[in-house]
Every structure is written in structure tokens, then in C-alpha cells.
Amino acid sequence: MRCTLGLLGPNWLLPAAPGEVILMVCGVVKNMSTTDQTKPVAPREVAGGATEPTSGCAAGAAAQVQPCPESASAAPGAAAVDIEALKAQAAKAQEYLDRLLRTAADFDNFKKRVARERAEAAKYMYQPLLVKLLPVLDNLENALAAADHSPDANVQALRQGVSLIQQQLKTALSEVGLEEIDALDQKFDPHLHEAVGHQETTEVPDGHVLRQVRKGYKLRDRLLRPASVVVAKAPAGQPQPAATPPTGPAEPAPGASG
């Protein structure tokens, strides 16, 4: 490649190597290379065999490689701070984990309680209706009792029809859990019986139910209405019949061998 600048003469030619431009301005010749100008410059040797430090990118790279004395001395303190920060974060994470476990346990208890309440509600869902139907059962019982000793054939025919209705109603109510309380000749139980009076008698043991005035009912294991009863009382100065002892294996006579 050649370039001619005619400050010194119109035909002044300067040879140039490929890729170079020779400029001659005011008698000064400058070599401008068209190749890459960002080549790193090798360090020059100075007196004593030392090398002159380079500038630019090479100098920056060398500076990055060399460790800083101040940062090296501050490393133990920074590591201690990092450890304390990690300990604090671990404690916070443990606190969050404990809260999560407690919340999960509370939610599990809540689900169990709701399931239990739903089962109980389904078990006793007919209680309000049954309580309202108990007087109907009482009236049917009274109607049958009033017609028991009537000689009229029409009354007896009517009694049979009422008895059938009573049985159908009792069957339907028993299917949803209604149960009668059997109180006659039973020992008085304040949880199931309501004493409306006492009567001296020798027919049943003292403290037992002599007569039932009104039937009691339960819904499964829940009491709907206690039975209204008359409780037997021992007459003054007279022995009472002993209650029937529980049956069991006979005890061997004294001295009997097995």
C-alpha cells in the first residue's frame, strides 16, 4: 500500500509496508498501522534487570491477581459475621418450622372435632322431632288403656285399630333410634327414672319401681325423657322380700373334696 503526500514535493513517494500508511506532515514521518492497536505491550526492561510495569489492560489484570493485604486481614472478622448471620437465620427457620408444626397439629385437631360433631349431629338429628312425638305416644297409650275393660264391641274394634297405628308408629320411630325405658320392677335410677311418689308395699323390694305412671324414652344412648314412676317403700316394722340374688356357680360345701 502506498500513500503520497506532497508537502515537500508533488512526486515524493515513501515506501510503505502492507497495511501501513506513511504520512509526512511538515517534514515529520509518522507510521500509522491499520492493524489492531489494542495489542498488549510487552514490559520494557530497565536498569538492574527489572521490568517496567505495563499500563492499560495488562496492568489492570496484574492488579487483580495480586491479593490485597487489607482484605486478607479483614477476612476472619467477615467470616465471624457470616457465621453469626447464619446462626440467626437458622434460629428463624426453626421458629417458622415450629409454628408450621403447631398449625398442622391444630388443623388436624380441628378436622377431628368437626368430623366428631358431624357424626354426633347425624346420630341425634331426629331428636327435636321425637321429643314432639312423645305426647302422641302417650295419648295412644292412654286410649288403649281406657278401652281395655270396655264391653262394647265397637270400642274393642276401635281399640284394635288404634293398637295397629301405635305399633306402626313405634316401629318407624325405633328405626331412627327411639327406645323405651323399662322401669317396672327395676331399682330406682335417678339418671333414668323420675320419682313422682313413694308407696309402702311388700310386693317389691324397697327402692324399686312399683308402678310406672308415664313411659320414658331414649334416643340411642341419650335420655329424651325420664320415666315417671312410683317407688316402693318398706312398711315400718315389716321385713321386705329380698332381691333376687345373681345366679352363679354353686360354692362347694365345707370339707368337700374336689
pLDDT tens-place string over residues 177-213 = 999 999 999 999 999 999 999 999 988 999 999 999 9
Distance between CA atoms of 93 and 104, rounded to whole angstroms? 16
Phi, psi angle pair for 176, to nearest 5°:
-100, 5
3-state secondary structure 167-223: HHHHHHHHCCCEEEECCCCCECCCCCEEEEEEEECCCCCCCEEEEEEECEEEECCEE
CA-closest candidate to residue 217, choices 145, 125, 133: 133
The model's pTM is 0.54
For residue range 204-248, what is the model confidence (pLDDT) as tens digits? 999 999 999 999 999 999 999 999 999 999 888 665 555 555 444
pLDDT tens per residue across span 247-258: 444 444 444 443
Kindly report the CATH class assigned to 127-233. mainly beta
What is the side-by-side order of every strand in the sheet holding 209-214? 193-200, 227-233, 209-214
Are 227 and 181 contacting, i.e. CB atoms less than 8 angstroms apart?
yes
Residue 45 is predicted with a pLDDT of 52
pLDDT tens, residue by residue, 14-59 = 454 554 444 444 444 444 444 444 445 455 554 445 555 554 444 4
| pLDDT at residue number 82 | 86
> Which contiguous run of DSSP H or E holds residue 59?
helix 57-65
Q: Are the CB atoms for 1 and 19 separated by under 8 Å? A: yes
Instruction: Provide the percentage of residues in the chain whose pLDDT is more than 90.
Output: 52
Taking the C-alpha atoms of residue 3 and residue 12, their distance in angstroms, rounded to an integer, is 10
| DSSP state letter for 5 | -
